[in-house]
Amino acid sequence: MNIIVLFGPPGSGKGTQAKILAEKYNLEHISTGDLFRYNIKNNTKLGQEAQTYINHGKLVPDELTTEMLIDELKRNSNKKGFILDGYPRTKSQAEALDELLDSIFQTQVDVTLALYVEDEILVKRILKRSEESGRSDDADESIIRNRIKEYYEKTAVVSNYYKEQHKLVELDGEGSIEDITAELSKEIEKFV
């Protein structure tokens, strides 16, 4: 089983690349953001609990997020592997992921591929995306900046966690979609 983590700030292209790569390598794409949006749309208890955080550009508490991820991993336990997009986003999520991959699948993260993009480009990209995504957290610049702030305050440290394990590969996320897919593919092919 392969476990590939796509890492980076909001708007760095994780979602776009995860979709392409999941199809290319026959892996299951798990986006915690998409799972939350699905729950909000269907007005589930989880959706109601997560909504306020998401609307303010804050991270949803670790426990809620990790419970949701565990359910999704178990539901897909017959799959060849996973591309995780948007999880882990805190050090404690990264630790939880290690434990649950070990206990559910007796496996571990193969590699964390980090995409870096300059902040002002992130803001522009997300505002542009809002024209199609319909996401309220994409349409408001102050919420976007909050999401970027959350990334630096809580998420950026996750890269150190994987760096210490020699599992971090850092890539420039500012090129064309095709070029970045090619760079990411080179790294994934070391494992699949």
Which residues of this protein are in contact with ligand AMP, per CB under 6 A?
Answer: 10, 32-33, 36, 53-54, 57-60, 65, 86-87, 89, 93, 137, 147
Which candidate, 91, 109, 110, places its Cα nearest to that of 100?
109
Query: What gap in Å lies between CA 177 and CA 179, rounded to an integer?
Result: 6
CB of 113 to ligand AMP, least distance (A): 15
CB of 141 to ligand AMP, least distance (A): 14
Q: Token pair 């799972």 is at which residue?
A: 35
CB of 29 to ligand AMP, least distance (A): 12
62 vs 187, beta carbon nearer ligand AMP? 62
33 vs 81, beta carbon nearer ligand AMP? 33
20 vs 60, beta carbon nearer ligand AMP? 60
Residues, the chain:
192
Ranked by CB distance to ligand AMP, the top (closest) residue is 33
CB of 90 to ligand AMP, least distance (A): 7
56 vs 80, beta carbon nearer ligand AMP? 56
Other CB atoms within 10 Å distance of the CB of residue 179: 11
Task: Measure Cα distances from 122 to 8, 20, 44, 176 in Å.
Answer: 11, 20, 30, 14
Which candidate, 4, 9, 1, 5, places its Cα nearest to that of 174?
9
CB 114 within 8 A of CB 171: yes
10 vs 13, beta carbon nearer ligand AMP? 10
